[in-house]
Chain A
């Protein structure tokens, strides 16, 4: 189990107990976190689960793979800490992870 903290674009925080092995995207969808659409359900096909990873966790979360990176290049308002949340798998190591959702995924 790991606690994931979702921060929306207005700064509202929601802390969720996530299940290891599920993605940060899936955890968000199951808990109706606003700001993540995830239309393709986690297939890395749609780029609508874009989040910003808190600096403190950048290293633990790691870098996107090529496919994800090239998807991210076309997301809106991409930053250094942008990731697709369907590609971040929850583990004990990520306990306390903070991710911020953008105002819109489109």
Chain B
């Protein structure tokens, strides 16, 4: 469906995918109305620093925003903030807002993102228990980031471990609870898990794997203890919950748009309604380098799908679909990830784990499918390209540090 003569485009959501869609629509020459409906009070901002530099107080708030307020005015983009969209009416082509009123669309981009999985234990609603997802969360957390305070983090995923690193650097006493037998169990290999666990331990955080939280206890409505399934108790001044996120698919689902762990889109970010697109954390998209569909929770994905949706609406050629990539900063470690490692059958370590400068490559039937690179940009950047070309690499080549990644990439087939 050609939507390039649309008069009104509505974007539900105010995160990175939404901001990118706004910018790309104008870049691709869209001159009609753009309405951005955001649940949060803030204009679109970068989320990654929330558990890193911003949490630590090293980045001023205004530096989080993608664009200043004046840009939205200049670009004639109507930002409707602190307002929830309550219904998509596809036959009327309208979006209903929570305080009444509707906005009409010729094309709609759903960029509703995701929300933290709720902690399913008693005491989760006590004061001092926080999610770490949006700016408002961090505003509540930051005043309590005081040296000597006891912080319990539930979940040893990237968010939990990044928060642990910040808290340790600020002098808090940190305990991380993880149900699985190792940290980052869902997302990386045992060798990386072991490395991060050792690093956090060395930095003075207590990492407790195989530890199931039973409940949170409190006094005067404020959290004071974390009780584990084995009956042991930990004192807690604050609890941060980082046990994963759930895609916000309800609006799409209620409107009859196909969802399957995310709003299902084609390569152009288009849903099964030709006027409706989905972008970012909420979307399940074709992962072209992996021959399957999936949902990606990443900056790369939000940017790319924002661009894909805008290009499809404006009838422009499809922008490149990059190899998925991610990063995490913990202490002075920069982890850069290219590709999706889930289905690997072999790992290869390159570099020196002790020296905290190494990479773990993931192979499937001899084909490179992903890399986790610690303080090793060449391994990350070379792999990103090699994954996209479906390169086959011998383990002994990948681990051979006498050859540079440039040389290895040049010789790859």
* A interface with B by C-beta (< 8 Å): 22, 26, 29-30, 32, 39-41, 43-47, 67, 70-71, 73-74, 106
Chain A residue at smallest Cβ distance from B23: A32
Complex Cα distance A71/B278, Å? 32
Binds A, one of B99-107, B133-141, B143-151, B374-382: B374-382
Chain B residues near A71 (CB-CB < 8 A): 377, 381
Contact B334 A45 (CB under 8 A): yes
Chain A residues near B320 (CB-CB < 8 A): 106
* B interface with A by C-beta (< 8 Å): 23, 46, 48-49, 52, 63, 66-68, 71, 299-300, 303, 320, 322, 325, 327, 329, 334, 336, 375-378, 381-382, 406
Chain B residues near A41 (CB-CB < 8 A): 46, 48-49, 299
Chain B residues near A67 (CB-CB < 8 A): 334, 375, 377
Contact B382 A74 (CB under 8 A): yes
Complex Cα distance A46/B63, Å? 18
Chain B residues near A74 (CB-CB < 8 A): 377-378, 381-382, 406
Chain B residues near A43 (CB-CB < 8 A): 48-49, 52, 327, 329
Chain B residues near A73 (CB-CB < 8 A): 377-378, 381, 406
Chain A residues near B327 (CB-CB < 8 A): 40, 43, 45-46
- Please give the distance in Å from A29's CB to the nearest CB on chain B: 7
Q: When A41-B46, A41-B49, A74-B382 are in contact, do A30 and B377 touch as well, CB less than 8 Å?
A: no
- Please give the distance in Å from B24's CB to the nearest CB on chain A: 12
Starting from the known contacts A40-B327, A41-B49, 7 additional A-B residue pairs (CB-CB under 8 Å) come to A39-B300, A44-B334, A45-B334, A67-B334, A71-B377, A73-B377, A73-B381
Partner of B66 from the list A29, A45, A46, A70 (CB cut-off 8 Å) is A29
Chain B residue at smallest Cβ distance from A22: B63
Chain B residue at smallest Cβ distance from A75: B381
Partner of A32 from the list B71, B375, B382, B406 (CB cut-off 8 Å) is B71
Complex Cα distance A32/B329, Å? 27
Chain B residue at smallest Cβ distance from A21: B60
Partner of A70 from the list B52, B300, B378 (CB cut-off 8 Å) is B378
Contact A46 B375 (CB under 8 A): no
- Please give the distance in Å from B58's CB to the nearest CB on chain A: 11
Complex Cα distance A40/B375, Å? 16
Complex Cα distance A44/B299, Å? 14
Chain A residues near B334 (CB-CB < 8 A): 44-45, 67
Chain B residue at smallest Cβ distance from A37: B303
Chain B residue at smallest Cβ distance from A23: B63
Chain A residues near B406 (CB-CB < 8 A): 73-74
